Structure 1
Amino acid sequence: MTENTASKPDTFSFTITGKNGAARTGYVSTPRGRIRTPAFMPVGTAATVKGLYFNQVKEAGADVVLGNTYHLMLRPGAERIARLGGLHRFMGWDGPILTDSGGFQVMSLSSLRKMSEEGVSFRSHVDGAPYMMSPERSVEIQGLLGADIQMQLDECVKLPCSDEDTERAMRLSLRWAERSRRAFELQPKGRAIFGIVQGGASRTLRVESAQALADMDFPGYSIGGLAVGEPQEVMLEMIETVEPHLPSTKPRYLMGVGTPDDLLESVARGVDMFDCVMPTRSGRHALAFTRFGRINLKNARHADDPRPLDETSECPAMRDYSRAYLHHLIRCNEMLGSMLLTWANTHYYQQLMAGARAAIAEGRYADYMAQTKEGWARGDIAPWQG
């Protein structure tokens, strides 16, 4: 893939260049460059995409990466990063950066957390130190980091969840959205903040959340609280429920999703942006995503297989190393094995999105989905026989 070399505007905007059913392609413009959509954002939790150099991330085709507010707040600290010139300079990435609000990690990682109207108080999972995260503090931290796209603070509940807890969290998230929006007004021109639709698996609550956020006129909208334990069909139903109530002229970001199949199905329902740790985490656990489907390099059947993961791939990790070698690295716990598979997966996810963009522009997205899924189902047509 070629590097994104489009001119850099002074403001944040979203342009749709093609539609095919509900699927759409275009770009998000930021002062640090364009994000081609549909886009998958590699996750750089602690100012690094685990196992990769940033030139590998860019050469794979990524226009934007995600940073994690919670982890960066704890280590090395937002104020320290600001003193060192901001997150872009700190980690050596010159493209756009999106940061989450930190709310999900507070809920999932922190001990002794306590919710209130003001925010959430919690103890660090690192050293037990006490912290308070309010909507205003979350936006302040993201501003200190210098994030181009920021998220409102919200409360994300795990599914299944009681109707009472789901409604309470949704309404609290709406009040926090208003406060986050006001706090963001102090940030420099060219940055953007997204509202986050909540409501669990309730169609009624999801619609109410989406409509209320649309009235607040955010530059973009996220769909949160999915891929947290519910079946894929529930996730897709919630996307279909929310999509008609979000402004068609603003980008839509499905948070924390997901598998290649999740991405294809969600693009078909009008989603523009994604992030997930799956390609990097799977790479560290010996799982490769390819046009043949998933390949588990732990399996002994790969020990004598001289073929690469995909000889037609542009990615060296896919093309230049045998499955036998990758299997050997994994069995010996050599870090190079995890690095190569992470590189391969990151490239495959970008390739999948590039294919989606081209297919939407040419009006053949349904065919692209069907052909891609057929390739996964078929797998290796001629498995290595030795």
Structure 2
Amino acid sequence: MKYIRDTLYGFIKLDGRFIDLMDTPEFQRLRRVTQLGFTPIVYPTATHTRFEHSLGVFHLACEMRKKFDTGDDFLAAALLHDLGHVPFSHAAEWIMKSAIGKNHVDITVERIKSMEGVLERNGFDVKKVCELIRGKGKYGQLLSGDIDIDRMDYLVRDSYYTGVAYGVINPDSVIRRLRFRGNVLGVNLSDIHVVESLLVARSWMMPAVYLHKTTRIANSMFSRGLIELMEHLDMEEFSEGDEHDAVRIFRDSCGLPSELWKRIENRNLYKEGLRLTRKDFSSREIGKVIKLRADPLRFRDIENRIAEELGLNEGEVLLNIPEKPVFMESNLMVLDENKKLEKISKIVSGIVESEWNYWYVGVYSRKERRKLIGRNRERIKELILHG
């Protein structure tokens, strides 16, 4: 038995089976993969890693097991659920998905299968652990679903380490109020305020932390550097590395990737020259713009085309296009009303709509190019839509 002191939960207790899982290279790698990537550029204390987040999710899984008969495979899945995150995952995963055809969940499942020996030796069912991580089955949704322990931990943990109080929720209170009707997870009408508080917390954390404008600029600079390096890197090998490896690759690079990395390290970031919001596009156009994330090379070509039109060099104009806002919690069932939460709670329906207020396409360049970018708003929009 081992006790590990955690900032949020005090001592977390693990028996020998879970210590064996922790002591694998796959899990120890998470000590070198940060939870929030480049966020310390804005919030210097936000240097926590996916290692402690994984321990936190394991702790909440243990609390969840006191309420539901989830079994030990659920605890193993909770501990190992983030094995597949790549270095600087918020900036890199969309590129990795295109390069190797896998997202972080796919990679996690692959790594768990490669750990079959240690898992089976400790009595865990590898197939079931993988299914739980994919959110399958009755209890999989507690780990990856409409309201899950992964989200509960990262909200509280990210709030604590950034110093942004918006994410302060009480996971124990949420867990106590969850119910199953058959295989359907939900809450009763009298308890929806607890879920509303979680949604409000995440809504406030989006602009303050997860979509902070400065972090988005750093992400875009790293992403462009990685796109430039794609043709020369073994991207599978990159996904297996940690952030120390990624830093070494960028420091050893030449040209644009090296220049962008030096700017990130010295906080000499590009500046926002233009912001295109939801109001600038039709619904169909928004879908088209978001789909650009599926093809990093085309994404780069559009950046280069904009730069060329403005008389700038390649790499002097960068774009940032967020994913479509998704609030899975709004689909949670209110069991005694037999309706989804968003159909009952005006708070939730309002939050889902207001989330679009934080969605925008950012156009970035050097400080001295900001006015040039701003003067060419319509032409840049046309190039984003039509290349």
- Give the TM-score normalised by the residue count of structure 2: 0.26
Q: Which one has the bigger helix percentage?
A: 2
Larger Rg: 2
